[in-house]
Structure 1
Amino acid sequence: MSETKPAAPQLSVVLITLNEEARLAYCLRSLPRECEIVVLDSSSTDRTVSIAREHGARVETRDFDDFARQKNAAMALATRPWVLSLDADEVLTPELRLALAEVTNANNKAAAFRLTRRLVFQGRHLRFGKAVDHPIRLIRRGTGQFVSAIHERLEIHGTVDALAGDLLHYSYSDLTDYFNRFNRYTSRVAENHYALGHTMPLGLKHWLRPWTEFFYRYILRLGFLDGYPGYTYALVSSMYTYIKYAKLRELLIRKSSP
């Protein structure tokens, strides 16, 4: 017997997209009934826009500048009392879907809610190794905004509570996809550091960071309990900070050369 989805008429769900035809439908199918869906697209060249409209979304277009501004622009398009900000690679579990419907239909004092987000990596729902986080994603409209251009986060004015249920994060389809994103994100972060006038960390701190990060994720945060996917995730994640600063070093050398 199929599940009857709960209704959430007080909820707006907002997403920013760029060429997300492979994942968007899974996200939109997981939403509660009767919610408003708003997609802010950055001129996708695939079927992203048509898929969004097929699922009842209102689609607007805006050139991408940075993640915080783009997500704030998407939230500004919402018209319901509560706003849930999602990425196209995130899927609600039935428990989370029910919790969203209940909290947005009830009277409560919270300004926002944290969600439990679990990474799905190489076919496994990772439970350890820093693969679970608790981002603020559900807010009462007008009580907060995204800050930080790269690793954007919601800054809230008011009380923040937590919701039951999991948000599944299908961030990487495979290792090729992981390293494509890895390359883009480390370049963006390095360019942001350069624009802010940051310099390279010196000495052992830079050279040891990948090893300490791996030890932290795989041993201290019990990543080994997630088997081979846990080992792979800890290993590739440990290189992130090292590479972003290596790219910053390249920028500093390039800009200082005659």
Structure 2
Amino acid sequence: MAGREPLSVVVITYNNADTLDRCLREVDWVEDLVVLDSGSDDDTVAIARQHGARVETHPFDDYGPQKQRAIDMARHDWVLNLDADEILSPGTREVIERALVAPDVAGYRLPRRERMFWGVQHRHSHRNGHLRLFDRRRGGMNDVEVHAAVEVDGPVRTLREADFVNDGDADIATRVDKINRYSSGMVAHKLRRRQRFTGVRMVLYPPVFFLRQYLFKRYFLSGWAGFVASVTGAFYVFLKYAKLYEARRNARAHDDGQRRE
């Protein structure tokens, strides 16, 4: 679209050959496409180059720093930050292009629909907005473990007509493996925040989370896939606080042992 801000898309990759082609195919209209790879040994890099991406390689240390490196590689101030398993829905290009004509905010949230195992989240269920389109002069990645995200200095607007799909968890086993890794990764962050009432949260928050997802966010519209997604989400919440409780208990036991010595 004439008169809009030029746009860079940044993607970090590691063995994402199964999803990367679909991801990049929906953003082949942008002026600058950056792929920062972590040493893939499948066809990831070849697929990126087929789409005209500028491909660089850097060892992966953590999600936030790796994403920030990709953002720093961008040629333009406005950046669309995508994961290799995220795909813009039809019509989202036009919404983004209109938003980039004389933008008066620091960034835009895009609603995201999740893959729910054998299906995709229903369009009429609640879609969480994620800050993915932003002016990199006014922000970048934060330092939260596992769930690092973009933060900007300035107003943010949600592009409600836009949409993108996270095409990640194709089966329950994959989801459970990810839940185990992510919940372990969040322990250090929560220890630093000194979050209180861990036991109460471990007991009460999982059922509250399930009801919020399944009923109030209308995951029931996705049938049994929505039910399973709500249950596994509640399990993730339980594991976060259970592992935090365990870490604190182990730390106290260690301190008591040292004092007895």
Q: TM-score, normalised by structure 2?
A: 0.85
Tell me, in whole angstroms, the C-alpha distance in 2 between the residues paired with 1:38 and 1:114. 20
Range with bigger deviation, 220-229 or 49-58: 220-229
Which of 177, 180, 190 is residue 180 of structure 1 equivalent to? 177
Q: Does 1:110 align with 2:108?
A: no
Residues 218, 230 of structure 1: 8 Å contact kept: yes
Q: How many Å apart are 1:45 and its aligned residue?
A: 2.5
Could you report, residue by residue, the CA deviation over 1:152-173 in whole angstroms, capped at 9, with x for unpaired residues? 2221122322333211111211
Tell me, in whole angstroms, the C-alpha distance in 1 between the residues paired with 2:211 and 2:30. 46
Range with bigger deviation, 61-70 or 228-237: 61-70
> Which residue does the alignment assign to 1:3?
none
Aligned-residue CA RMSD (Å): 2.5
> Which residue does the alignment assign to 1:214?
210
> Which residue does the alignment assign to 2:165?
168
Which of 58, 79, 83 is residue 83 of structure 1 equivalent to? 79
Residues 111, 143 of structure 1: 8 Å contact kept: yes
The 1:251–1:131 alpha-carbon spacing in structure 2 relative to 1, beyond 3 Å, is farther
Q: How many Å apart are 1:202 and its aligned residue?
A: 4.3
Which of 183, 186, 203 is residue 189 of structure 1 equivalent to? 186
Residues 129, 230 of structure 1: 8 Å contact kept: no
The 1:197–1:132 alpha-carbon spacing in structure 2 relative to 1, beyond 3 Å, is closer
* Alignment gaps of 5+ in structure 2: none
Residues 128, 226 of structure 1: 8 Å contact kept: no
The secondary structure found in structure 2 opposite 1:161 is: strand
Tell me, in whole angstroms, the C-alpha distance in 1 between the residues paired with 2:171 and 2:31. 32
The one-letter amino acid of 1:60's match is: E
Task: Report how many aligned residue pairs link the two structures.
Answer: 251
Residues 145, 185 of structure 2: 8 Å contact kept: no
Alignment of structure 1 residues 1-258 onto 2, 5 Å: 10-104=6-100, 106-127=101-122, 132-147=127-142, 148-163=144-159, 164-194=161-191, 196=192, 198=194, 201-255=197-251, 256-257=253-254
Q: TM-score, normalised by structure 1?
A: 0.86
Q: How many Å apart are 1:79 and its aligned residue?
A: 0.5
Identity level (%): 34
Could you report, residue by residue, the CA deviation over 1:182-240 in whole angstroms, capped at 9, with x for unpaired residues? 1111111124334x274673444322322222122222333223211111111111111
Tell me, in whole angstroms, the C-alpha distance in 2 between the residues paired with 1:129 and 1:97. 20
Q: How many Å apart are 1:131 and its aligned residue?
A: 5.7
Q: How many Å apart are 1:174 and its aligned residue?
A: 1.0
Q: How many Å apart are 1:249 and its aligned residue?
A: 3.4
Tell me, in whole angstroms, the C-alpha distance in 2 between the residues paired with 1:18 and 1:198. 33
The 1:178–1:131 alpha-carbon spacing in structure 2 relative to 1, beyond 3 Å, is farther
* Alignment gaps of 5+ in structure 1: 1-5
Structure number having the greater helix percentage: 2
Structure 1 segments of 4 or more deviating over 6 A?
A: 6-9
The one-letter amino acid of 1:120's match is: R
